[in-house]
Structure 1
C-alpha cells in the first residue's frame, strides 16, 4: 500500500475544461513533500472528463473520481472527502476562483 500523503487536495469540477489543466498544474507545483489531488468530476459535459483521463491527470499524485451525473458541489466534496487519504485535507475549486 502506498505511503499516506501529508496533504490531500479535494478538487470538485463541473464543466471546467478551460481551467482544469492550470488548476492541477498549480496544485502539483506546491512545495509539499507528499501530496495527492482527488479530482471529482461531477458529471461534466464540456470535455472536462476526457481531459481528466489523459495528460496531467495521469500523474500518480492525481486520482480522478467520475460522477455519472451532476449531483452538486456538496456531493462532489463528500465523495472527495471519502476518498482522501492525506493527514490534512483542503479544498481547491477547479475554476481557480480562490
Structure 2
C-alpha cells in the first residue's frame, strides 16, 4: 500500500490530463477533498506517487487557521468512506 506522512498539506502536483479526468468525479468540499482526491488517485494503479519535502510555516488562529473539531470528524469520515 501507499504510505504518506501528511495528505492534508494541500500541495499536490499532477499531469493535466489526470486532474481533468478526476475533477468531475470529486464530491467533497472543504478538507475532505484532500482525502477523497488521494484515495481516488491511489486506486489508479497506472499512476506513480512521490512524496516531496516542503517548507511550511504554521499559521496562528489569528492569521487564518480556522480548523475545528468538526473538520477533524469530517476528515475521519472521508477516510472511512473512500
Which TM-score applies when normalising by structure 2?
0.28
- Relative contact order (C-alpha < 8 Å, sep 6+): which is higher? 1
> TM-score, normalised to structure 1's length?
0.25
Q: Which has the higher strand share?
A: 1
